[in-house]
Structure 1
Amino acid sequence: MTPPSSATAMPSGTAEAIQRLVAIMARLRDPESGCAWDVAQDFASIAPYTIEEAYEVADAIARGDMEDLKGELGDLQLQVVFHARMAEEAGHFTLADVIDTIARKMEARHPHIFGAAPATDAAGVRASWETIKAEERAARRETGALDGVALGLPALLRAEKLQRRAARVGFDWPDAAGPRAKVAEEWAELDAAASPEARLEEFGDLLFAMVNYARHVGIDAEAALRAANAKFERRFKAMEQRAPEDFATLPLAAQEALWQAVKDAE
């Protein structure tokens, strides 16, 4: 068993590169000589940028653009350094504390690599991971089955995580027939909704039911919607290119004909 202390050494130049970025952020946040925009930020104002950069990383991966991925990972790393710098200024923690915390967590969650637990297959590793995470939640006094599911997650992804947590304690349909019937029920309730508030609520229930059905038939709802978005964007751009004149000036029938032509050409 390889102890953590003998893990692979950090690649040459990595520590220096991180220190350079830390120093740049410290300079930007200097209240006397720093950048006015950077100095004015706080955790809440930066959080949307952090989420955006994570999505841009995912986009670069989806496109297979490694050069872009390199840049986007740098942008995401900057977000970590930014948050850590603000925390250090407030006396909460440092970037070193952030890195140490995740390093300890990864060692603790891989006892078959860094501890005395026997080696196991992928299913065993997954089961051990979930057990350890449950113990961590208990240590944080997150005793409810749904505790700790981040509010900032995309809504479809959060819905799936909430459903999976509920399923762990037995609150789940035995097969896909139940959630499929629930989709039909929620659709009917949406059709019957008589006010904007009721339609909003029922539409949310319908989306939640759709995610539940997707989960039961092995579909990642978030990934499916991303793929649908990408397909629509691709087809729409192709329509615009095929249009004999400004697309916005075409009657709907002509636009529909272009849409069908693009679909048929795929």
Structure 2
Amino acid sequence: MVKTEATALTTQLNNQGFIIINDVYTYGHVEALLNIIDNTPPNKDTFRKTADLFAIRQFFKAVPKALPLIFNDKLKAIISQLFGEGYFVTKAIYFDKPPQSNWFVAYHQDLTISVDRKAEIAGFSAWTVKQNQFAVQPPLAILQNNFTIRIHLDDTDEHNGALKVVKGSNLKGIYRPDAIDWAAESEEICQVNKGGVMVMSPLLLHASNRSTNSEPRRVIHIEFSNSELPPPINWAEKYNYHENH
């Protein structure tokens, strides 16, 4: 990625809340990733499998063999050129929206982070716990610095649950879905090719429709931050991808 392209993408990401970069992974790399996932025994409590969804939470802990393939030179360069140094992984989930899936996700922002314990700390609120995993809404400044990369393992469009987003909603702080003024806002469907990535702000309002064709939508969702948390809490899944070889 040349410097002018990186500058343009950074501007677009800041203004619209997302960018799409295709051809980050070859089809061969994608198939190798899927093979690793398919051959991982689903016997951990972080696996969830139903007719409508297959998900693996704490993905890198559950499927460590995927790490070298995911953090290839292209992805590392994208992170470095768009955000600089000092970022680390804070959360990773694998989502498989199978062809027969009939569920949708309503508009929302990703307002919580995963931490290792609960504590009373000023500015941290809305605590929840699910499968022994604590989540909390941190101060807005942390969310504004965080970003998410969604790695697409299938061609994804409006027919198999591609994300819909409200462009620029990342600039409006906490933006409740029931407050969306559709007369003023612009919705976009994010079509991403197999092997491509979508980079987005957690403050971007996003949703996804039901699948209407027979194609799967498999995505690896990775969250990043450069913020250290106040004691005694720590990031639940902190991983320094720079150390991966």
Does the alignment reach a TM-score above 0.5?
Answer: no
Q: TM-score range by the shorter chain?
A: under 0.3
Return the index of the structure with the highest Cα Rg: 1
The structure carrying a bigger helix percent of its residues is: 1
Length-normalised TM-score, structure 2:
0.26
The structure with higher relative contact order (CA 8 Å, sep 6+) is 2
